[in-house]
Chains A and B, each alone.
Chain A
Amino acid sequence: MAKQIPETASSVSPRQKAFLRAHHRHHHQVAFCRAFLLLLFLGLWETASRLSWIDSFFFSSPTGILRYLRDMLLDHSFFTHTGITLLETVVSFLLVTALSLLTATLLWYRKSLSEILEPYLVVLNALPKSALAPLLIVWLGTGTNTIIVAGISVALFGSIISLYTGFCQVDPEMCKLIYTLGGNRRDALTKVILPSSIPLILSNMKVNIGLSLVGVIIGEFLAARRGLGYLIIYGSQVFQLSMVITSIIILCAIAMVFYRLIQSAEHYYKKKY
């Protein structure tokens, strides 16, 4: 050990050391400021509601939210509401991903099909999906199905368009290579288009998970008896603002977890290739 110390010391120059130290210090500063900002905000909020600067009936308070969260955990309503929202989001996300991959592949495979469908896709993508919700309720009733379809409808068309555009931007020379080696269009799809589009597919998934969540919450606003979206609407109607804010905070956490999951899939892919 004693021998190693001077060795490592000599391999890292003083300037490099200074650089590393400055680098770490900067990172610590950023982390500290982030935490400080959050604590400051929570502290101000708590103080303001205790000293009645704001009406805690409308604005709730950090301790009020914690109390409400504890109650939710104790009567298990946390798990039913969060669980159902999670389930609906995951199902609609998976369906969006599968359906959009399938459709984009089909559109790439049959160029004339994409020409025929283009205006419809553009219109459906631009249409505000919440306008469809009342229709969905009439057709599918109120419940999980409607909410999953709402989640799909928000993300699907944009996802198809962005995947299809990405497929079309793959270097045509790469496909030519496949043809010169005796492959057909299907080979070009499986050997070039899909594998080269994996980064695009992953970043598309990041967008989809967010949009699915948006669609599910819209659906729950309108057609649910369970779920975080329902809690938000119900809480606002009965002036239980702790319920509303707690649900929003849980939603933030869900969104972050999903985002991190896909990000780690991206990291895994980057490491592998």
Chain B
Amino acid sequence: MQPILSLRDISFSYHNLKGETPALSHIDLQISEGSFVAVVGPSGCGKSTLLSIIAGLLAPESGEILYRGLSSKDYCADTAIKIGYMLQRDHLFEWRTVYQNMILGLELSHTLSKENTDYVEKLLNDYGLYAFKDKKPSELSGGMRQRAALIRTMAVHPDLLLLDEPFSALDFQTRLAVSADIASIIRKTEKTALLITHDLSEAVTLADRVVVLSGRPASVRCEMPISYELTREDPLKIRSTTAYQDYFNQLWEVLNDGKTNP
């Protein structure tokens, strides 16, 4: 099957007057439809840059991105895949109600149809936020805010979800619950997801495949498929299996090997 996203030999550097900072070097990555891929790597290695390039916010300096086999040159409205991007912080706008925040994407893409707003209402209902529809975002708890941010992302029916450490602002307990929650929503809707995280246990618990990046400039160090006999519903159960331990230790070794200054 055609992968939904393939990166071929992507490189990118940041430029300023003091010089050039390479961020990504020769990244090759393929993501197949419906998979959940986690990308881990040392902090500041260019993970967020990678997502920005995939989302089309930055243009790569060299290399090629194919969305379902098509490059951005033969991009048109029909073949274009929709990308949903979840940022580190939820950025729910305080001057809008929860519902108005949810339909922001529809507003921006001028697709505020009855069908789409019904879908938003359904999502609000499914994720237990319907009662808070007309509230201000500040009245939601941390976990609810992340779920609201997910609804805002899902409202535009994205084919590919990019998650940029979306749980990093939460406290540990909420984080565990919310990450499992959101991962199960993504699996249920059979979305393809690319999660960036610096939390190895999160990557190992949630993803089908973990991609390890090297330090700056980032390149793909190794890829590791992950599978469990258990379903992924309960993150705590997964975390107590020996398979989880093995995956975690393997990843830990790979990451620590690469460190030039341990």
A: residues with CB less than 8 A from B are: 171, 173-174, 176-183, 187, 191-192, 195-196, 198, 273
B109 engages A180 (CB within 8 Å)? no
Q: Which residues of B contact A273 (CB under 8 A)?
A: 94-95, 136
Whether A176 and B136, one on each chain, are in contact in the complex, defined by CB atoms closer than 8 angstroms, is: no
CA distance A176 to B105 in the complex (A): 13
Q: Does A177 lie within 8 Å of B91, measured CB to CB?
A: yes
Residues of B close to A192: CB separation below 8 A? 93
Complex Cα gap A176–B107 (Å):
16
Contact indicator per residue, chain B 45-63, by CB within 8 Å of chain A (1) or not (0): 0000000000101000000
- B83: chain A residues at CB < 8 Å are 180
Return chain A residues, CB-CB under 8 Å to B96.
Answer: 195
Q: What is the CB-to-nearest-CB distance from B5 to chain A, in angstroms, rounded to a whole number?
A: 16
Could you show 19 A-B contacts with beta carbons less than 8 Å apart? A171-B91, A173-B89, A174-B91, A174-B93, A176-B87, A178-B108, A179-B57, A180-B55, A180-B83, A181-B105, A181-B108, A181-B109, A182-B156, A191-B104, A191-B107, A191-B108, A192-B93, A195-B96, A273-B95
Select B156's contact among A174, A181, A196, A198, beta carbons within 8 Å.
A181
CA distance A191 to B136 in the complex (A): 16
Q: Contacts of A187 on B, CB cut-off 8 Å? A: 108
Total number of B residues with any Cβ neighbor in A under 8 Å: 21
Cα of A183 to Cα of B111 in the assembled complex, Å: 12
Chain A residues with Cβ below 8 Å from B85 are 177, 180-181
- Which B residues lie within 8 Å of A174 (CB)? 91, 93
Complex-state Cα separation, A183 to B91, whole angstroms: 15
Which of A173, A176, A183, A195 contacts B93, CB < 8 Å? A195
Chain B residues 121 to 143 lying within 8 A of chain A, measured CB to CB, are 136
In angstroms, Cα B84 to Cα A198, docked, is 29
Q: Which residues of A contact B89 (CB under 8 A)?
A: 173
Q: Chain B residues in contact with chain A, CB under 8 A? A: 55, 57, 83-85, 87-89, 91, 93-96, 104-105, 107-109, 136, 152, 156
Q: Which residues of B contact A183 (CB under 8 A)?
A: 108
Question: CA A51 – CA B84 in complex, angstroms?
Answer: 82
Residues A198 and B95 in contact, CB atoms below 8 Å apart: yes
The CA-CA distance from A179 to B107 in the complex, in Å, is: 13
Pairs A-B, 6 closest by C-beta atoms: A180-B85, A183-B108, A181-B105, A195-B95, A182-B109, A181-B108
The secondary-structure label for the interface of chain A is helix
Q: How many angstroms between the C-alpha atoms of A195 and B100 in the bound complex?
A: 13
| Chain A residues positioned under 8 Å from B88 (CB to CB) | 173
Contacts of A178 in B (CB 8 A): 104, 108
User: In the bound complex, how far is the Cα of B87 from the Cα of A227, in angstroms?
Assistant: 57
Question: Which of these, B87, B136, B152, contacts A173 with CB under 8 Å?
Answer: B87
B75 to chain A, nearest CB (A): 13
B111 CB, min distance to chain A CBs, angstroms: 10
**Cα separation A69 to B105 with both chains bound (whole Å):** 60
In the docked arrangement, what's the CA distance between A179 and B56, Å? 9
**Which residues of A have CB within 8 Å of B107?**
191
Q: Is the CB of A182 within 8 A of B105?
A: yes
Q: In whole angstroms, how far apart are the Cα atoms of A177 and B96 in the complex? A: 15
Q: Which residues of B contact A180 (CB under 8 A)?
A: 55, 57, 83-85, 87
Residues in B neighbouring A171, C-beta threshold 8 A: 91
Closest to A179 in B: B57
Looking at the assembled complex, report how far the CB atom of A188 sits from the nearest CB atom of chain B, in whole angstroms: 10
In the bound complex, how far is the Cα of B104 from the Cα of A183, in angstroms? 10
Question: Chain B nearest CB: distance from A91 CB in Å?
Answer: 30
What residue of chain A has the Cβ atom nearest to residue B52's Cβ? A176
CB–CB B104/A181 < 8 A? yes
- Bound together, the chains give a CA A187 to CA B84 distance in angstroms of 17
Chain B min CB distance to A123 (Å)? 26
